[in-house]
Amino acid sequence: MAGRALLPRKIINYFMLGVCALGAGIAIIVVCLMLGYILAKGLSFISLDFIISESVPAGYEGGGMRNEIIGTLILVVLGSLIAVPLGMLTGIFLSEFGSPKVAATVRFAADVLAGVPSIVVGVFAYIVIVSQYGYSAFSAGAALSIIMIPVVARTTEESMRLVPGSLREAALALGITRWRSVIFVAIPGALTGIVSGIMLGVARIAGETAPLLFTALGNNFSFEGLARPISALPLQIYNYALSSDKNWQEQAWAGAFLLVMIVLLISLAVRWMSRKGRA
């Protein structure tokens, strides 16, 4: 009787395992097909000249995305300079100092902000910054930082919570103030996780296009300052992909290949750091 009673449970268990495996397989196949198609199309057009040359007008052959690559690096650095301190401070507050009610409210706000579509962030940045001061690299960096802040905040909080409480208690027992124990004990213990979260945030904003459409505008020339429009790799890929010019379309595939490689390398670095931290 007991064996018969367990039979339906085993069937349901095997069925649910099969459903989970099917879902995981479909997700892996979709990702592999997408990456494979981008790599196959973009690899044939990537070259050293593409990386070191400036863009050319439609109808001309050759050219590259040197200024766009530099612009992407500038925007990522600018967004990180804004988002990392704010995100880390928010995560430290949630983990160490916030009362349960306040921490729950801030955590909920961070989760909601993380789920806001990037185009909404772009519209917000346009209304608050661009409408007052014009298109600029700063407005684009500020928009990207809004996307990055909740990622850094939540990963910082979770990493800080993984630090054993006994380390904090030992520091306090030695007469160290609470804020010193956080800076010199808790943060170093959670540093690997915090850095991984920062790199995940960088990978997230490196490929964003929608906020740049409302803030960066684009610039075919080299970087002219934080108060001037700036071009970026995702923005140029978007513009080239919509063009009917064959050379621009080929460069769009090459740019997509380069952008995917950047995000992939960052993701692999995060995985390596996470495993190293657990070891």
Tens-place pLDDT, residues 121-156: 999 999 999 999 999 999 999 999 999 999 999 999
Q: Which residues of 172-181 are buried (b: 16+ CB within 10 A; e: fewer)?
A: eeeebeeeeb
For the chain, how big is the Rg over CA atoms in Å? 23
- What are 77's two structure tokens? 């650095």
Helix (H) or strand (E) holding 171: helix 165-173
Q: What confidence tens digit (pLDDT) does each residue in 154-199 have?
A: 999 999 988 888 888 888 888 888 888 888 888 888 888 898 889 8
- Say which residue the tokens 């990456």 belong to: 35
Mean pLDDT value across residues 27-33: 91
pTM, to two decimals: 0.87
What was the pLDDT predicted at 2?
53
Distance CA 225, CA 147 (A): 23
Q: Where are the domains of the chain?
A: 2-45, 52-278
Q: Tokens standing for 169?
A: 């208690």
| Region 52-278: CATH code | 1.10.3720.10
